[in-house]
Amino acid sequence: MKRRYRPRIVTLFIMVFRSLSTVTLLSLLSLPGLTSASVAYCNNQDYESGALGQAPYQTYYAAPYKPVQLNYALPPADCPSNSQVSGYFMFSPLGSDLEMTGGGYIMNPNGTMVYFSSGFGSTVILRGVFTYEGEDHLGIWVADGSDAVPAGHGSGWNILLDRSYNVVAKITTSGLTVGADLHELHITTNNTAIITAFPTDETDLSAYGGSEIGYVLNPVAQEIDIATGEAIFTWKALDHVSPSECYAPLGIAATGYGIATDPWDYFHMNSIEKNDDGTYLISSRHCHTLYLVNSDGDILWRMGGKNSNFTMNEGANFTWQHHARLRGSGQLSLFDNGATEWEQDIPYSQGLLLDYDDSAMTVSLSSARAPYNRTNTVSQGSVEFLSNGNSIVGWGAMPYISEHDETGNIIWSTQFAVPNSGISSYRAFLKDWTGRPSIPPSMKVTSPFSNNVTVYAWWNGATEITSWELYGSRLITPLKATSLANASKTDFETALVYSGSEYTFYQVAAHNADGEILAYSNFTALDGTTFGPAENQTITAAPLNS
């Protein structure tokens, strides 16, 4: 098996040797373990065993990113090109062994990076694509150092980015003591946002072995009018659901001791969906229950848990679940963890599609999605249905993403870290997206030899580029852009080589599949001098929003 992972020390060596001859560099790169290719591995045993590290990563020559390296533990037939998967992975690895943090990814299924959402805060979770005001937007949850509570929830805010990566909305709580929590962001057809928040409230916990002056996390479901920032719905768990209905013990590290500095996480709200009829489906991991709530906050029914209104038929029960989503009438999907950090109920976690009948009040299993290698996921997880009936499961605390056919059979499974490395992604999706950043492409001019030039080009978030063109100008005045080279884009970063040295200023242009120009970079000289494109260099691709 050819190893393409490049250990950190070797990267350092390559940086040192970059100033030497290309011959030396190329011979180094052709050694096993040293190629610069960064497509996904396919069933790489060294990756799976941890021999390549807990979170193998990719490197580039000039672009300042070190994205996670994918490995298809269960490869599709055409691995790594994975041509039958259309769309982009959207996921957000968190964990201390990651080489690069502070952002979520948009990644091609072949493992090449498209976008890293850094620069917004210290903890950043890319939540997927949402329709807002009729257009696709990226949703991102952000927290800054002190606000982020790693122990399962956080206080921060959400932002919506348009297809040019401009921030068009900031969404947080209204009238609460904490900001938006990381567990949910859902944008409704009415341009409102559904979010969670985890304030601490005082309550009598003597019935549960705690103090009369006890403290709980009292999670809140809010619907926020994005334009005004006002809450149009606020539902606080403790007003409706007693801790006696739930399963998480009081007084262990994972759930809290019921004191002001360590409140009891009795309910753990982890998904909310607003339905077209104005009801809300709220998932409580720690009560093993989905609650259907009306706009007055009344609970219409409970599914699962101690007080279920539904009879749970064989295989339809769930515990410690995540990401409940209604699917048309009479169906819903969820991720059944069946396990937590302190308890295991079933041999392995599953993505479930359930049929429910709200007259007969019964729930039955429609189909189940088992994980590669049959592992338990003790926290997090997601199930996304694609338009063809297939589904994508994000395995949460297990760093895997898999696709399943309509009956739930696994088709492939990819990993972005080693299992039990502490690296997780809260949810993971496969989404269509078109991005054309408003900031111009980036480039770096290098001259490893006196007689030729290598220029590295990248454009974080751009989805339409199929090739890059390199231009040179001898002078600033007159600025005369001469085409020097073209190169197809197959990875995040592309190298363009010009076998000559008579130009001083270099520039790259991004071309789309029709050969139109999406954007020009600045002109840049070897010494770093930079200035904008020439007056007569016009974008020929139609604007995105037309």
Ligand X SMILES: *[C@@H]1O[C@H](CO)[C@@H](O)[C@H](O)[C@H]1NC(C)=O
Cα-based torsion angle of the residue sequence 76, 77, 80, 83 in order, rounded to the nearest 10 degrees? -90
Cα–Cα distance, 224 to 214 (Å, whole number) = 30
Binding mask 458-477 for ligand X (x = CB under 6 A): -----------x--------
Taking CB under 6 A as the criterion, the residue among 73, 98, 205, 282 binding ligand X is 73
Contacts of 273 (CB under 8 A, 6+ apart): 186, 194, 280, 281, 324, 325, 326
Please state the closest distance from residue 127 (CB atom) to ligand X, in A: 18
Please state the closest distance from residue 256 (CB atom) to ligand X, in A: 23
Binding mask 510-529 for ligand X (x = CB under 6 A): -x---x------x-------
Q: β-strands 41-42, 71-74: how paired?
A: parallel
Q: Which of 150, 137, 138, 62 is nearest to 101 (CA)?
A: 150
Binding mask 281-310 for ligand X (x = CB under 6 A): --------------------x-----x-x-
For 71, the 3-state DSSP assignment is strand
Contacts of 12 (CB under 8 A, 6+ apart): none
Q: Site for ligand X (CB under 6 A): how many residues?
A: 51
Comparison of 32 and 314: residue with beta carbon closer to ligand X: 314
Taking CB under 6 A as the criterion, the residue among 77, 531, 540, 542 binding ligand X is 531
Binding mask 224-253 for ligand X (x = CB under 6 A): ------------------------------
Comparison of 148 and 430: residue with beta carbon closer to ligand X: 430
Please state the closest distance from residue 129 (CB atom) to ligand X, in A: 17
The answer to whether residues 454 and 446 touch, using CB atoms and an 8 Å cutoff, is yes
Contacts of 259 (CB under 8 A, 6+ apart): 211, 214, 215
For 183, the 3-state DSSP assignment is coil
Taking CB under 6 A as the criterion, the residue among 129, 205, 484, 510 binding ligand X is 484
Please state the closest distance from residue 208 (CB atom) to ligand X, in A: 20
Amino acid letter, 184: E
Comparison of 123 and 425: residue with beta carbon closer to ligand X: 425
| 26: region left, alpha or beta (phi > 0 left; psi from -120 to 50 alpha) | alpha
36 binds ligand X (CB under 6 A): no
Burial zone of 1 (CB within 10 Å; 0-12 exposed, 13-18 middle, 19+ buried): exposed
Q: Which two tokens stand for residue 184?
A: 């949910």
Instruction: By CB under 6 A, name the binding residues for ligand X.
Output: 22, 39, 48, 73, 81, 108, 110, 112, 188-190, 274, 276, 278, 301, 307, 309, 314, 317-319, 338, 345-346, 361, 373, 419, 449, 451-452, 469, 478, 480-481, 483-486, 490-491, 497, 499, 511, 515, 522, 530-532, 534, 536-537
